[in-house]
Structure 1
Amino acid sequence: MQNSSAAATRRGFDITSSSFLLVAFLTGIAGALQTPTLSLFLTNEVHARPAMVGFFFTGSAVIGILVSQFLAGRSDRKGDRKSLIVFCCLLGVLACALFAWNRNYFILLFIGVFLSSFGSTANPQMFALAREHADHTGREAVMFSSVLRAQVSLAWVIGPPLAYALAMGFGFTVMYLCAAVAFVACATIVWFFLPSMRKEPKAVTSHVEAPRRNRRDALLLFVICTLMWGTNSLYIINMPLFIIDELHLPEKLAGLMMGTAAGLEIPTMLIAGYYAKRFGKRFLMRIAAVAGLLFYAGMLTVHTPVLLLGMQLLNAIYIGILAGIGMLYFQDLMPGQAGSATTLYTNTTRVGWIIAGSLAGVVAEIWNYHTVFWIALGMGVLTMGCLLRIKDV
């Protein structure tokens, strides 16, 4: 009886773990189908000027921060995180439908982005639920989170090339409807297979003390991750247009570059997760920052397809370590607040979009897309300076 009971528990846990992996992949697919082609969608379908494209990214980031931060605080205090994820996925479906059939810039910015902000919040909430589940079951959180992040990267291996193929071959309407299907599948899996982790009101006081002790380092880490994601956002916004309009290279190369980097991020995340305890998260983040400096210096000097693809190894080290270790760094600095810590980390990507959206369109319109990478290089230097001041955990 004991053996069969243990086996049943093992099977249930395996189903739960597999469901987390599928949800991580599907939320990644939903984002990877939309984000890489958004600048082209706004330029070619909505006919927005470069400055308006940049403003769209900035506005979407601001709305996303407000929505996600509100949901994060609420999810840590009360309610069921599982139900919140399902709700976010369903609003993500509505956002995809609006982008599929509407071409009005301001409707997309204010209504579409508001709905899609809920959809994108499903991902950090899933990671928060996964951290709580790992702590509850005694599973090693670093590797579990690293494997989940690897699923998101796997989605970004498949997503960008698929997005360009769908958009160029069948149109943006089909591409956004495919993203909607991913959200529907995600909501179904979450509802039927992920665990409910009800909030317990005890120990609220102890949870507040840890962030206060680590407040300076949490804020410094916020700046570091914001700068790193900001450079990546500059790259995502400008790279497709830089490749097509300035270098006059094939459109599919942009999707191939993003897919190659995402594929290389998978082993990078797993290796970083394995060595995190041995070398520390700060050391790994410094390695990422150096790789980023080399990558953006290369974008300023390398303009041939083979070398552009080869440089994606540096990009993968840069983003792979940031994506795999950055979130865990925040969670360690903010124990007992998985939702707030994970969303704070996720909001560094949104603040990065604000910075990138404000700079990218204006710089490209006044000068050119090449100049944007000089901005990214300068942000990389600031990142290195901040990493010299933060302590390890």
Structure 2
Amino acid sequence: MQSFTPPAPKGGNPVFMMFMLVTFFVSIAGALQAPTLSLYLSQELAAKPFMVGLFFTINAVTGIIISFILAKRSDRKGDRRRLLMFCCAMAIANALMFAFVRQYVVLITLGLILSALTSVVMPQLFALAREYADRTGREVVMFSSVMRTQMSLAWVIGPPISFALALNYGFITLYLVAAALFLLSLILIKTTLPSVPRLYPAEDLAKSAASGWKRTDVRFLFAASVLMWVCNLMYIIDMPLYISKSLGMPESFAGVLMGTAAGLEIPVMLLAGYLAKRVGKRPLVIVAAVCGLAFYPAMLVFHQQTGLLIIQLLNAVFIGIVAGLVMLWFQDLMPGKAGAATTLFTNSVSTGMIFAGLCQGLLSDLLGHQAIYVLATVLMVIALLLLLRVKEQA
């Protein structure tokens, strides 16, 4: 579909369903690759813990730079669908490279450039969906929420499949499956998704971002969000190595833990959305931070599979609320500047990845994997104190 086509006035909307399907396929392709990446680097490339952490850090930095450049282009040209197709093609090339190349230097240079282009797919897909919802008069929050549930569902299914493929059939098979999913996504984007003209000038968003950053509440919330994502992303990077090398558990159990947390996040997101209208976003995010503060030291206390599975409820409440409500909290603090607020939230995630990769690599190499969870506990205390300083809304 080359240009914008309005939906049917009643009943189901096939374009809406295609957005859901593409979101699921792109998400599950990512959920196949991300959980086992640290194991891939450690086993296939014999990378030391510091080199693993450095890989994730450079990946995040490259992603921020390239996504900023491409976002400016998409805002100027106003054709996100073509950019989506290009990035899906780069995602296919990236998966094929990881399938057949085993040189660390090649993967941390050319491979990470392709990975950065791959990371653009999801935010651009959400941007296109938002513009489509605005043009068709759909309820934007519900549209976005349903797309987010596709991501969570993919992360329920993806990690266990990822470990099963990697451990039973090898990483070549794993990355070939991911390439096939991106190819299917590219075909669906080309044939079913619309091109929607941009509604808001990029210059307006740039001015909004600058003025919003002057607010103390916005800066505190940004800092707290960065710290919380540092903790979560350190956990994602380190946990497969921690449970296999420190606790002596099967590597495949890491996929079970990630899938369990993702599955629990779905009802948490829905419940948080329901409660936010009644009690506000601030109290719920503070509850989430308290759960995160309890979760990371619990990782050091529970050394059995049952216990680790149970405490995933804390992890699910933490991430389910933070991922869903912190972005909306930014928007409340920056009224009329939803685009700039969303950009600040996504930048906090990317910034968290930079520090997470460095901290995980250095600490696990020098002090062992347990030090990761001690640091996460300290950072969660600081994040909670910052959140308590932030108002509910402007």
CA RMSD of aligned residues (A): 2.2
Whole-angstrom distance in 2 between the partners of 1:225 and 1:238 = 20
| 2:212 alignment counterpart | 214
- Structure 2, unpaired ranges of 5+: 1-5
Cα deviation, 1:275-309, whole Å, max 9, x if unaligned, reads 33333332222121111111112112111110100
| 2:45 alignment counterpart | 46
Deviation at 1:10, TM superposition (A): 3.2
Whole-angstrom distance in 2 between the partners of 1:327 and 1:183 = 27
1:228 aligns with 2:228: yes
Cα deviation, 1:17-62, whole Å, max 9, x if unaligned, reads 2112112211211111111101100000011111111111111111
1:160 aligns with 2:159: yes
| 1:296 alignment counterpart | 296
Q: Give the conservation status (yes or no) of the 8 Å contact 1:143–1:273.
A: no
Whole-angstrom distance in 2 between the partners of 1:293 and 1:231 = 10
TM-score by length of 1: 0.91
Deviation at 1:210, TM superposition (A): 4.1
Correspondence list, 1:330-349, <5 A: 330-331=330-331, 333=334, 335=336, 338=339, 341-349=341-349
| 1:94 alignment counterpart | 93
| 1:261 alignment counterpart | 261
Whole-angstrom distance in 1 between the partners of 2:67 and 2:206 = 20
| 2:19 alignment counterpart | 20
DSSP-derived class of the 1:8 partner: coil
Deviation at 1:214, TM superposition (A): 2.5
Deviation at 1:137, TM superposition (A): 2.9
What is the identity percentage for the equivalent residue pairs of Structure 1 and Structure 2? 48
Deviation at 1:341, TM superposition (A): 4.8
Deviation at 1:152, TM superposition (A): 0.5
Whole-angstrom distance in 2 between the partners of 1:163 and 1:243 = 16
| 1:378 alignment counterpart | 378
Q: Give the conservation status (yes or no) of the 8 Å contact 1:19–1:194.
A: yes
Letter of the 1:48 counterpart: A
Cα deviation, 1:336-391, whole Å, max 9, x if unaligned, reads 663x6545433322221211111112111111111110011111111112212223
| 1:178 alignment counterpart | 177
Deviation at 1:170, TM superposition (A): 0.6
Whole-angstrom distance in 2 between the partners of 1:109 and 1:103 = 11
Cα deviation, 1:78-112, whole Å, max 9, x if unaligned, reads 32112111111111111001000000001101111
| 2:327 alignment counterpart | 327
- How many residue pairs were aligned? 385
Q: Give the conservation status (yes or no) of the 8 Å contact 2:32–2:174.
A: yes
| 1:3 alignment counterpart | none
Q: Give the conservation status (yes or no) of the 8 Å contact 1:125–1:342.
A: no
Alpha-carbon distance change, 342 to 93 in structure 1, aligned in 2, over 3 angstroms: farther
| 1:56 alignment counterpart | 55
Alpha-carbon distance change, 73 to 206 in structure 1, aligned in 2, over 3 angstroms: closer
Q: Give the conservation status (yes or no) of the 8 Å contact 2:128–2:196.
A: yes
Whole-angstrom distance in 1 between the partners of 2:200 and 2:236 = 42
